[in-house]
């Protein structure tokens, strides 16, 4: 199973979900970037998304999820809704020259309906012809580093443990995500002294 991104089980955060600090194109993190060399020594650059990246992000996301069995193929819409709601706290792109190779999004979650500076990873996408070259890993590591520098307590992900354990994610009984097998829902502690306990909900953009 390789289902990443929250389920669309009709959960809602309720009204008043605040805009994440630093979200949007003018974010404090907008100038952050890191030149990187990934698989086969190919040059790649990771930076915060720009307004001009939006259509390429949607295209790469649609391509990446096209053959993912457990996807309902709404990932490009989720990213768009996150952006419109100001909930794209971290939105990084991997660029090779003029080509967008991949994208990763991080958005705020609530735990027991409380905001707590914890975030959710996803969707993450890499152009299918560039899979397996370290691009997804580089995006995720860069995003987690940026989250940490923004003083995030931690991050959660719903996905394949085999993939996400390499970044330090692990299953934790204190954090529950309804409707997902527990082993597929994982957390990574960043700046938090203690892992909060409770039921996790993703941003409203994930439920439409």
Ligand X SMILES: CC(C)(COP(=O)(O)OP(=O)(O)OC[C@H]1O[C@@H](n2cnc3c(N)ncnc32)[C@H](O)[C@@H]1OP(=O)(O)O)[C@@H](O)C(=O)NCCC(=O)NCCS
Chain contacts with ligand X (rule: CB under 6 A): 2, 4-5, 64-65, 68, 122-126, 131-137, 159-160, 162-163
Least spacing, CB of residue 84 vs ligand X, in Å: 19
Nearest to 93 by CA among 29, 157, 41, 150: 29
Q: What distance in Å separates the CA atoms of residue 135 and residue 147, rounded to the nearest whole number? A: 18
Cα–Cα distances (Å) from 122 to 7, 36, 67, 88, 189, in that order, read 12, 21, 17, 10, 17
Cβ nearer to ligand X, comparing 16 with 132: 132
Given the complex with ligand X, which of 134 and 154 has the nearer CB atom?
134
d(C-alpha 95, C-alpha 153), whole Å:
28
What is the smallest separation between the CB atom of 183 and ligand X, expressed in angstroms?
13
- Complex with ligand X: residue 42 or 54, whichever CB lies closer: 42
**Whole-number minimum distance, CB 68 to ligand X, in Å?**
5
Query: For residue 186, what are the β-bridge partners?
Result: 157, 171
Q: How far is the CB of 201 from ligand X (least distance, A)?
A: 17
């Amino acid at each position: 199973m390789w289902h990443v991104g929250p389920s669309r089980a009709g959960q809602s955060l309720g009204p008043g979900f605040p805009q994440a600090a630093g979200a949007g194109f003018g974010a404090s993190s907008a100038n952050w970037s890191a030149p990187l060399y990934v698989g086969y020594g190919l040059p790649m650059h990771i930076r915060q998304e720009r307004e001009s990246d939006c259509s390429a992000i949607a295209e790469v996301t649609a391509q990446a999820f096209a053959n993912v069995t457990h996807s309902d193929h709404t990932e490009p819409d989720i990213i768009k809704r996150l952006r419109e709601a100001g909930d794209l706290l971290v939105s990084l792109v991997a660029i090779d020259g003029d080509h967008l190779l991949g994208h990763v999004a991080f958005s705020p979650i609530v735990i027991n309906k409380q905001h707590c500076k914890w975030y959710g990873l996803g969707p993450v996408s890499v152009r299918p012809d560039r899979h397996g070259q370290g691009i997804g890993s580089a995006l995720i590591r860069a995003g987690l580093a940026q989250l940490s520098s923004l003083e995030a307590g931690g991050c959660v992900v719903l996905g394949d443990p085999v993939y996400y354990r390499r970044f330090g994610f692990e299953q934790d009984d204190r954090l529950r995500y309804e409707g997902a097998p527990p082993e597929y829902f994982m957390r990574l502690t960043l700046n938090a002294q203690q892992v909060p306990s409770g039921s996790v909900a993703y941003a409203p953009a994930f439920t439409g």
